[in-house]
Amino acid sequence: MQLFDTRFAPSLHQILDDLDRQGFSIMDDVYTADYMQAVSTECLSLLDAFRAAGIQNGVVSQIRSDHILWIDDAQPIAQQHIQALNELGQSINRAFYTGIKDVEAHFACYNAGEFYALHRDNPQGKNGRIMSTVYYLHTQWQQDWGGQLRLQDRHGKWHTIEPHPNRLAIFQSDLLHEVKEAHQQRLSITAWLRSDQQLI
């Protein structure tokens, strides 16, 4: 069974052009249905280990109410996605001299009622995150289930991106964005293409 068949290569020109023009790009049907199913199953099997993303060192933040699990070697299926993102990062480096060296990633689960308010992933360029990516891995999503990604492009224009299954959104980490409240369980992998190995 072929689990993994990255579609980045054929659409690479489009991705680089989108990033250049507007600072973000959306790709649909990124992987095979088998891969999406496998990564979804891996994510669901780990849900008990997810932790509230808004609580760090005992400090509670109201900005987000989702739950996350950082990805490491113990998640071999998700690692294949991270490997594909590493390769995408090298292509972005060749086009824009961005200095991407590493990928950090976590699963995210938004249960009904959960959201992530307006934020930037790299405010003031301080933390090494160059590009943010989100891969949506719930197996179905309907328009009235909320959970949209709202993103301001590099010209200040707002876009609403539906979290369609098997879709990848990639955007500059300094852009303002939010996740609207989800009405159903919304599953994803958020990954950052970084300029260094250090985790924040």
Rounded to the nearest whole angstrom, what is the least distance from the CB of residue 2 to ligand OGA in the complex?
A: 27
Residue 42: partners with Cβ closer than 8 Å, 6 or more residues away: 75, 76, 77, 78
Q: Which one of Mn ion, ligand OGA, none interacts with residue 172, CB within 5 to 8 A by kind? A: none
Rounded to the nearest whole angstrom, what is the least distance from the CB of residue 79 to Mn ion in the complex?
A: 22
φ and ψ at residue 134, rounded to 5 degrees: -135, 125
Q: Measured between alpha carbons, how far is 144 from 124 in angstroms, rounded to an integer?
A: 35
Contact present, 153 and 159 (Cβ < 8 Å): yes
130, 131, 149, 168: residue in contact with ligand OGA (rule CB under 6 A): 149
Residues between 166 and 195 that touch ligand OGA (CB under 6 A): 177, 179, 188, 190
Nearer to ligand OGA, 84 or 149 (CB): 149
Q: Which one of ligand OGA, Mn ion, none interacts with residue 149, CB within 5 to 8 A by kind? A: ligand OGA
Nearer to Mn ion, 38 or 193 (CB): 193
116: contact with ligand OGA by CB under 6 A: yes
Q: Which one of Mn ion, ligand OGA, none interacts with residue 179, CB within 5 to 8 A by kind? A: ligand OGA
Nearer to ligand OGA, 9 or 199 (CB): 199
Q: Measured between alpha carbons, how far is 162 from 170 in angstroms, rounded to an integer?
A: 13
For Mn ion, what does the binding mask look like between residues 72 and 111, x meaning CB under 5 A? ----------------------------------------
Rounded to the nearest whole angstrom, what is the least distance from the CB of residue 186 to ligand OGA in the complex?
A: 8
Q: Which one of Mn ion, ligand OGA, none interacts with residue 81, CB within 5 to 8 A by kind? A: none
Q: For residue 150, give the nearest of 165, 163, 164, 137 by alpha carbon.
A: 163
Residues between 117 and 146 that touch Mn ion (CB under 5 A): 121
Contact present, 169 and 26 (Cβ < 8 Å): yes
Residues of the shown chain interacting with ligand OGA in the complex, contacts defined by CB under 6 A: 108, 116, 121, 134, 149, 177, 179, 188, 190
